[in-house]
Amino acid sequence: MTQVDFYLLPEGEADPLPFACRLLEKIYGLGHRVYVLAASAAQASKLDTQLWSYRPGSFVPHGLHGHCDPTEVAIVIGDCETDAAHNEVILNLQTEVPLSFSGYDRLVELVESADPQRELARQRYRFYRERGYPLESHQVPG
């Protein structure tokens, strides 16, 4: 059964992408494959750019869905669900429950502090809880 982890971003942190970069670096360092489900093509492109430059000395191999071979990179970023080979972890940046989340070992949800994003995350949390998925919440330090 898919493990669902919610990361609660600090108050006032309006952009989830800097934390997403840190988290993706950590997940990659643990040897996992990730599919990032971005909220839009623009957000996917922005995350792609940030991963190349967010921290000096960091290297997180990744590519945009449709522009890379998913068997050759550990992290694929896209704005649509796919049957790619990245079935270990899905990082959801959308406001809805991913249709294919149960095909992954782990689902990661980033929760922004501002409403209505926080309320939408609560709805997703209830969805997973009502279906019996194991849930864990992590407070991200500010």
Surface-to-core class of residue 23, CB atoms within 10 Å of its CB (0-12 exposed, 13-18 middle, 19+ buried): buried
Q: Which is it for strands 34-37 and 89-92: parallel, antiparallel or unpaired?
A: parallel
pLDDT of residue 32: 95
For residue 42, pLDDT beyond 90: yes
Q: What's the pLDDT score for residue 82?
A: 77
User: Which amino acid type is present at position 136?
Assistant: E
> How many helices and strands in the chain, by DSSP H and E?
3, 7
> Any idea what the CATH number is for the domain that residue 18 is in?
3.40.50.10110
Neighbours of 18 (CB within 10 A): 14
Q: Is a pLDDT exceeding 70 seen at residue 84?
A: no
Question: Which residues are registered as beta bridge partners of 35?
Answer: 76, 90
pLDDT of residue 30 exceeding 90, the answer is yes
The one-letter code for the residue type at 55 is: R
| Total domains in the fold of the chain | 1
Q: What is the mean pLDDT of residues 19-42?
A: 96
Domain that holds residue 17: 3-139
Q: Can you tell me whether residue 73 is helix, strand or coil?
A: coil
